[in-house]
């Protein structure tokens, strides 16, 4: 039963948006609709997950739980008893998500483009998958399924990501693809809202994150290798995307007579000057060893002679997605498998390895890893302490400054049943100025190297939050909110009781007294409350491979 007195809640996710870019542009009057919302409501920073990677962050946003309770830590998930990983999809989100709370309370929910949500799940309302979907044509992309055909007959083929991959020298083409994608998304949103109105909307825009990764250098004169002649021509590229988002926001706000709004990002953004080859460092430290067999030796030799690096750069330039049109699948697989990978690691002599783009080291632990050699307990503790102190001592090879920042161990930051999925040690590299290489980097002269994907921007820990509407006070400062507070705040605004087991809390300090009065907490257990224990179907091998290609093209995978 929908209570007509409760205004709809419109949650708008701007992936990766940062106050660092917003503030100067707001002051210059370039983002009028966003400023209007700020002036009507309250705003501040929003703390991301300890590893600020989108699937972990968005899973916390929709469940209110830390990653050890929802089970999503990165774009990949570890498989028990194996070293290889699988790519995250809806079934990996083990905590109750927004749509279950909303539907159970009789509220309709509209969900669009959450990056790790594929397949879409049956909801009262609608749901369209995000980037974890191999393709919009994949079964399970939308719920109800017929809505996809409906959108396509109105607006043409569904746009899941930008049409062109980024290449230096082809910036305009890339940017116009991003703006087209945004335009398509806006049209579908207005159509869906008008035809299938909901009580709660969760609408995600990935465009800002994509352009931060690819286009940061153009607006940053201090960026290494900045070319004033070429790069300055595109200095406003990211601004153009922010302004387009601002226009989209303005038209969305116009559509509703009265609504509560949340505009937020899952993490921030900043420049990226290169990558650290963490597996190479572990190898230098004697903690990771490669096999001595012929194929691995050959790959090492190829890596050192730069043949593979050049082949790799070619792949990165063309994009695996584009390469698919040119080269057969077996040839493509052969090329990719000629790079050194975890298959070349000698696990019987390896104590630690790195995986993921944001400083994550895993211990080769007996009983957890299939070929684990490190004993749990004392030996594990000693090794973690040893790695932490060696990381602490690491210096930037050129500047001599400390290289490693924000060292953490999983026990200090995560709490919950899925903690074994987490890396054992996490860190940032000069406060995210460098990402972790997703390659072994044996060809590199130094433990630091250039981005394999020509990326010039990456994530930061601090995102943004703006809230406005009839239930939100004006002019309050939001100072210590985290992603885990978004779900309970959403529930409160939608007039749904907030369960006590959620890690986050509603942001009561900025609620109007009327909302504070109707806010309800309940004590139920999450286990009893979960309705949908059925595992959605996994992906076919072909779907997985399409998805991997996309994630590689975007720089998320090695
Ligand atoms: Zn993100």
* CATH number (domain holding residue 30): 3.40.720.10
CA of 19 to the centre of ligand 1 (A): 15
78 near 85, Cβ under 8 Å?
Answer: yes
CA of 114 to the centre of ligand 1 (A): 10
307-318 and 294-304 helices, crossing angle to 10°: 80
CA of 206 to the centre of ligand 1 (A): 7
**Strands 274-276 and 434-436, bridge-based pairing:** parallel
CA of 335 to the centre of ligand 1 (A): 29
CA of 268 to the centre of ligand 1 (A): 8
In whole angstroms, give the CA distance from residue 409 to residue 154. Answer: 50
Q: Are residues 446 and 308 in the same domain?
A: yes
Asked if the structure places residue 268 within a domain, the reply is: yes
CA of 248 to the centre of ligand 1 (A): 19
The per-residue pLDDT for 343 is 79
Q: Are residues 356 and 288 in the same domain?
A: yes
CA of 201 to the centre of ligand 1 (A): 18
CA of 175 to the centre of ligand 1 (A): 19
Asked if the structure places residue 398 within a domain, the reply is: yes
Q: Are residues 335 and 309 in the same domain?
A: yes
CA of 141 to the centre of ligand 1 (A): 20
Q: Are residues 378 and 478 in the same domain?
A: no
Q: Are residues 406 and 492 in the same domain?
A: no
The per-residue pLDDT for 83 is 87
Q: Are residues 125 and 244 in the same domain?
A: yes
Q: Are residues 193 and 304 in the same domain?
A: no
**What tokens appear for 152 in the block?**
């396509």
Q: Are residues 222 and 304 in the same domain?
A: no
The per-residue pLDDT for 536 is 43
Measured CA to CA in angstroms, residue 293 lies from 282, 285, 346 at distances of: 20, 21, 10
Asked if the structure places residue 322 within a domain, the reply is: yes
> Looking at the 3D structure of the chain, how many domains does it have?
2
CA of 154 to the centre of ligand 1 (A): 29
Asked if the structure places residue 2 within a domain, the reply is: no
CA of 52 to the centre of ligand 1 (A): 8
The per-residue pLDDT for 437 is 85
The per-residue pLDDT for 524 is 79
**What tokens appear for 362 in the block?**
């895993």
Q: Are residues 295 and 341 in the same domain?
A: yes
Check residue 319 and report its DSSP letter.
-
Asked if the structure places residue 380 within a domain, the reply is: yes
Asked if the structure places residue 211 within a domain, the reply is: yes
In whole angstroms, give the CA distance from residue 314 to residue 317. Answer: 5
CA of 459 to the centre of ligand 1 (A): 8
CA of 16 to the centre of ligand 1 (A): 5
Where does a domain end: 437, 457, 477? 457
Q: Are residues 170 and 241 in the same domain?
A: yes
Closest residue by Cα to residue 205 from 458, 14, 22: 14
534 near 94, Cβ under 8 Å?
Answer: no
Residues 6+ positions from 104 with CB-CB distance below 8 Å = 529, 531
CA of 53 to the centre of ligand 1 (A): 6
Q: Are residues 295 and 180 in the same domain?
A: no
Asked if the structure places residue 5 within a domain, the reply is: no
Check residue 377 and report its DSSP letter.
T
Where does a domain end: 457, 478, 508? 457
CA of 326 to the centre of ligand 1 (A): 31
Cis before 101? omega within 30 = no
Where does a domain end: 401, 426, 457? 457
Q: Are residues 305 and 380 in the same domain?
A: yes
CA of 57 to the centre of ligand 1 (A): 7
**Strands 498-499 and 360-363, bridge-based pairing:** unpaired
Asked if the structure places residue 506 within a domain, the reply is: no
Q: How far is CA 255 from the centre of its chain?
A: 29
CA of 259 to the centre of ligand 1 (A): 25
CA of 463 to the centre of ligand 1 (A): 10
Domain that holds residue 217: 11-272+460-496+521-553
291 near 346, Cβ under 8 Å?
Answer: yes
CA of 156 to the centre of ligand 1 (A): 27
What does pLDDT average to in each consecutive run of 10 residues of the chain (558 residues)? 74 98 98 98 98 96 97 89 85 94 97 93 96 86 96 96 91 97 98 97 97 96 94 97 98 95 98 94 94 73 58 56 50 53 88 93 96 97 98 95 96 95 97 87 78 89 98 97 98 96 97 95 70 49 70 60
CA of 56 to the centre of ligand 1 (A): 9
pTM higher than the cut 0.75: yes
Residues 6+ positions from 246 with CB-CB distance below 8 Å = 30, 31, 32, 33, 34
CA of 432 to the centre of ligand 1 (A): 14
CA of 181 to the centre of ligand 1 (A): 17
CA of 307 to the centre of ligand 1 (A): 34
């Amino acid at each position: 039963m929908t209570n007509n007195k409760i205004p709809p809640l419109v949650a708008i996710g701007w992936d990766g948006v940062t106050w660092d870019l917003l503030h100067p542009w707001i002051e210059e009057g370039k983002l009028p609709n966003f400023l209007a919302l700020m002036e009507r409501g309250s705003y501040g920073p929003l703390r991301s997950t300890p590893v600020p990677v989108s699937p972990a962050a968005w899973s916390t946003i929709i469940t209110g739980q830390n990653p050890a309770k929802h089970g999503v830590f990165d774009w990949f998930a570890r498989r028990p008893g194996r070293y290889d990983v699988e790519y995250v999809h809806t079934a990996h989100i083990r905590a109750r998500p927004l749509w279950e709370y909303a539907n159970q309370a009789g509220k309709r929910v509209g969900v669009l483009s959450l990056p790790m949500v594929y397949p879409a799940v049956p909801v009262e309302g609608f749901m369209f998958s995000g980037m974890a979907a191999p393709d919009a044509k994949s079964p399970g992309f939308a719920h109800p399924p017929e809505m996809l055909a409906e959108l396509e007959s109105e607006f043409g083929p569904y746009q899941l990501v930008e049409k062109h991959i980024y290449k230096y020298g082809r910036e305009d083409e890339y940017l116009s693809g991003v703006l087209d994608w945004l335009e398509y998304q806006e049209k579908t949103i207005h159509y869906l809202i008008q035809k299938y109105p909901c009580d709660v909307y969760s609408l995600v825009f990935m465009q800002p994150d994509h352009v931060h990764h690819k286009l940061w250098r153009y607006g940053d004169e201090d960026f290494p290798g900045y070319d004033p002649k070429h790069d300055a021509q595109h200095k406003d590229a990211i601004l153009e995307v922010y302004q387009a988002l601002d226009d989209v926001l303005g038209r969305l706000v116009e559509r509703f007579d009265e609504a509560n709004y949340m505009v937020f990002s899952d993490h921030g953004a900043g420049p990226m000057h290169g990558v650290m080859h963490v597996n190479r460092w572990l190898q230098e430290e004697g903690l990771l060893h490669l096999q001595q067999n012929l194929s691995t030796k050959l790959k090492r030799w190829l890596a050192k002679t730069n043949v593979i690096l050049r082949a790799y750069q070619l792949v990165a330039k063309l994009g695996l997605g584009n390469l698919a049109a040119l080269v057969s699948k077996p040839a493509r697989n052969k090329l990719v498998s000629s790079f050194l990978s975890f298959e070349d690691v000698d696990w019987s002599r390896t104590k630690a390895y790195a995986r993921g783009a944001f400083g994550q080291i895993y211990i080769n632990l007996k009983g957890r890893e299939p070929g684990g050699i490190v004993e749990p307990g004392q030996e594990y503790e000693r090794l973690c302490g040893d790695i932490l102190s060696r990381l602490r001592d690491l210096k930037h090879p050129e500047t001599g400054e400390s290289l490693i920042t924000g060292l953490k161990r999983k026990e200090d930051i995560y709490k919950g049943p899925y903690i074994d999925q987490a890396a054992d040690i996490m860190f940032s590299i000069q406060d995210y100025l460098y990402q972790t290489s997703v390659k072994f980097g044996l060809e590199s002269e130094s433990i630091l190297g250039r981005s394999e994907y020509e990326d010039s921007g990456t994530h930061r820990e601090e995102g943004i939050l703006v809230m406005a509407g009839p239930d939100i006070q004006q002019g309050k400062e939001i100072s210590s909110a985290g992603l885990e507070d978004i779900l309970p705040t959403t529930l409160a605004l939608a007039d749904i009781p907030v369960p006590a087991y959620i890690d986050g809390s509603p942001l009561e300090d900025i609620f109007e007294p009327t909302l504070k009065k109707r806010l309800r907490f309940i004590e139920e257990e999450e286990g009893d409350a979960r309705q949908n224990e059925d595992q959605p179907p996994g992906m076919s091998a072909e779907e997985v491979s399409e998805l991997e290609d996309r994630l590689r093209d975007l720089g998320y995978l090695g």
